[in-house]
């Protein structure tokens, strides 16, 4: 049931976004790569209102597998870094495998969805 609810909500939410420029970067995320534009384990994936522009206010960030299983959920305050470190909350905090993941960023007023690619 969770999968269906998430997928339905994610696709309906696409048209209700005010922060039209919310992005997740680097994408693809290649944490073991030494090239700074593709990321590293220490920095994770950043969610922003544009490259280098932080999301203002509190938000929830959820990461799902492409089949709709919840991987990670973070309720973040206004001053918290809007990041995902590539770890699976359901698997003792292990890093996720290579693949395509769906993300959902929710604020009090809006929801934004997108995809990220993790390459290990």
96 pLDDT higher than 90:
yes
pLDDT surpasses 50 at 48: yes
Distance CA 27, CA 39 (A): 9
Q: Does residue 28 register a pLDDT over 60? A: yes
Q: By the 8 A CB rule, do 62 and 68 touch? A: no
- Could you tell me the pLDDT band of residue 91, with boundaries at 50, 70 and 90? confident
User: What's the rounded Cα separation, in Å, for the pair 9 and 77?
Assistant: 23
Determine the average pLDDT of the residues in 70-97: 93
Q: What is the pLDDT of residue 15?
A: 34
Averaged pLDDT for residues 5-32: 64
Instruction: Give the residue with greater pLDDT, 79 vs 52.
Output: 79
| Residue 101 pLDDT class (50, 70, 90 cuts) | very high
**What is the pTM for the complete model shown?**
0.80
Tokens of 40: 């590293």
Q: Which of 24, 38, 35, 33 is nearest to 84 (CA)?
A: 24
- In this predicted structure, the answer to whether residue 9 has a pLDDT above a threshold of 60 is no
In angstroms, rounded to a whole number, what is the distance separating the alpha carbons of residues 21 and 52?
11
State the Cα angle at 100 between 99 and 101, rounded to 5°.
115
- pLDDT tops 90 at residue 37: no
Set out the domains of the chain in order of their start, with CATH numbers.
2-118 (2.60.40)
């Amino acid at each position: 049931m969770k999968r269906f609810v998430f997928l339905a909500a994610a696709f309906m939410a696409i048209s209700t976004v005010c922060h039209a420029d919310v992005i997740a970067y680097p994408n693809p995320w290649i944490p073991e790569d030494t090239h700074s534009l593709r990321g590293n384990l220490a920095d994770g994936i950043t969610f922003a209102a544009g490259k280098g522009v932080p999301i203002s206010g509190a938000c929830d960030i959820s990461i799902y597998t492409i089949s709709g299983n919840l991987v990670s959920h973070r309720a973040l305050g206004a001053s918290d870094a809007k990041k995902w470190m590539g770890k699976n909350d359901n698997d003792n905090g292990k890093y996720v495998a290579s693949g395509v993941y769906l993300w959902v960023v929710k604020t009090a007023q809006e929801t934004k969805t997108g995809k990220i690619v993790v390459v290990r």
